[in-house]
Amino acid sequence: NVHEKSKETFAGDWCTTGDQFHVDEAGYYWYHGRTDDMLKVSGVYVAPVEIENCLLQHEAVLECAVIGHDAGDGLVKPKAFIVLREGYDADAEREQEIKGFVKSILALYKYPRWIEFVASLPKNDRGKIDRKNLKQAGIVNRDS
């Protein structure tokens, strides 16, 4: 209910936004994503936005979103939905290339075990990626 959610958001003098940040030694704030989007992979919390930012560095990736996916073994691992740039083929070779790219930059447990190439990503009425819709698609396409 909305009242309970408001009580969670406004606790005493604090307003908890649900966003995860850390402050580095130089005093810079680093955004890690929404608390409710964090994935627990191999016992470690992973921010999907970190994986997404890495994927976006690949020349073939136009747009992407990462969610947690359970392939039926009870273990959550990253799954990426990727929109490719024009001129790039969505095939097994491209999938392996992108996985290798992420592995070369991030810790091994962070690379997406599954990549699903899509024509577009679902968006909500504010133009943000609709992760709930992607999670439902991930369940439907469990073996992707």
pLDDT at 1: 60
Band (pLDDT 50/70/90 cuts) for residue 144 is: very low
Number of H helices, E strands in the chain: 4, 9
Which numeric CATH code is attached to 36-140?
A: 3.30.300.30
Q: Dmax over Cα atoms in the chain, in whole Å?
A: 54
Sort 112 into a burial class: Cβ within 10 Å, 0-12 / 13-18 / 19+: buried
DSSP character at residue 85: P
pLDDT at 85: 98
* pLDDT of 116 above 70: yes
pLDDT at 142: 43
Domain boundaries, the chain: 36-140
Which has the higher per-residue pLDDT, 36 or 99?
99
Q: Which of 39, 53, 63, 23 is nearest to 135 (CA)?
A: 39
